Every structure is written in C-alpha cells, then in structure tokens.
Amino acid sequence: MYLIIFGAPGVGKGTQAKILSSKLGIPHISTGDILRAAVKAQTVLGMKAQKIMSRGELVSDEIMIGIIKDTLSDPKCSKGFLLDGFPRTLAQAAAIDELLKELNLMEKILVVSLKADEEELIVRLTNRRACSKCQEIFNYKDIKDKDVCPNCGAVDSFYHRSDDQEDVIRNRFKIFQSVTLPILEHYEKMGKVISVDGFQHVEKVTEDILHSLAKRSGKEITIST
C-alpha cells in the first residue's frame, strides 16, 4: 500500500499516519523525521540541509525531494509506505509525481484526504495544551485533573503553545487554503483521492480509511498485529 495522507492543520494526519503504519505494516515517512535523520546521519543531502537550517532558512524542494528519494528507494519501502507532510505545494506535488514515476509507483499511489469543518478544527486546536515536562499534547477539555499531566504526572505543567493561538491558527488555514489545498484537486483529477470524515473518533476514522482502501483495492486489507 502506497499512501499520501492529506488534510488541514489539526485534522489528525499524524495520529492516523502512525496507526495506519502499524496496522498496514508500512513505514510512516514523516518529512520532518527523515530530514532530521539525514542530518544526524550526515548524508550528503543531510549536510546541505544542515547548513541551510543553521542559517534559519527553509530547505529547498530540490533537497527535500532528494532526501525523500533516498528514503523511498530504501528496501524497507519496497512493499509500501505512508508519506506524511509532503507535498505541501503544487510544485512539490509535481516533483513527487516525477519521483513516483521514476520508481514505477505512480499507478499505485493513493491520497487519503481527511475532511473536517475549518471552524471545528480551530476550536480543537485552540483547546490544545502541551505539557512543559514531557511535551505531550492534549485536548484541555479531555483532561480530568487540569493540574496534573495524565502522561507524566507533572503538576501545573500545561501551557498554551504560541502556534495554537487563534490568530496564528487562522493564518495557517489561510496558507493551507491558498497554497496546499490545490494539491487535492490535482490528485482528484487523477482519481487518486479517498476522502474520510476526519472529525470522528480516532478509531472510527481509522476504520473508515481501511474500509475505503479495501473497497478501492477490491480485496481485504491485511492488518499487522
């Protein structure tokens, strides 16, 4: 199974990516993670990226595609992968399409689109709180004891991250609408998009994704245990 997971900020892409990676037995390829791994391993592209990041600049599409190519060419991705966090622009989509064609995977790739109402997502994101000790993130409404972190037990450790402030979130959505959302239409024209309601319970979202993938493939999905 070769998948790209797509959706607006806060819709649960990372959560579903980790679950699907485990259930389908395919690598979860987070662009942030593989970039850090390339820097840590001091690969040629990783060292180039490190120099750029040390200047506070964004890593170019060319370098990111190179790093993604190295990752997707790894034998561990030979039976599938789940790409999370890329592409984010039409230019990146065009570049990843060329890479997939080169790897003979363009016919196999599917895009899992998680849908949700923007205002509901804004409420979800503004209600998030992070623990200053363990860095886990929670929905503040779901925490029973507001003074104690349910993950590490730290007391009075919750704080509201700057990128979870409403004005910042609304700006992220504007960027998503203008820059990233056109990617969905790009893949819809190719008939590669599977859409799922991302504002359901986590388990139901996963269930619907797996059902849609099975329906699309015409065969039962094998779940790893």
Query: Count of CB atoms within 10 A of residue 119's CB?
Result: 9
Q: Which of 40, 51, 161, 204 is catalytic?
A: 161
Indicate the DSSP class of residue 148: B
Can 88 be counted among the known catalytic residues? yes
Can 161 be counted among the known catalytic residues? yes
CA atoms 59, 63, 65, 68: torsion sign: negative
Look at the block and give the residue holding tokens 């890479």: 99
Can 124 be counted among the known catalytic residues? no
Closest C-alpha among 18, 5, 10 to residue 172: 10
Can 129 be counted among the known catalytic residues? no
Q: Which of 36, 133, 172, 192 is catalytic?
A: 172
Can 13 be counted among the known catalytic residues? yes
Q: Which of 18, 23, 36, 128 is catalytic?
A: 128
Q: Which of 69, 88, 133, 192 is catalytic?
A: 88
Rounded Cα–Cα distance for residues 211 and 31 (Å)? 26
Rounded CA Rg of the chain: 18
Rounded Cα–Cα distance for residues 71 and 33 (Å)? 11
Distances (CA, A) of 68 to 39, 77, 119, 128, 179: 13, 11, 33, 31, 21
Q: Which of 13, 48, 124, 129 is catalytic?
A: 13
**Which active-site residues does the annotation give?**
13, 88, 128, 161, 172
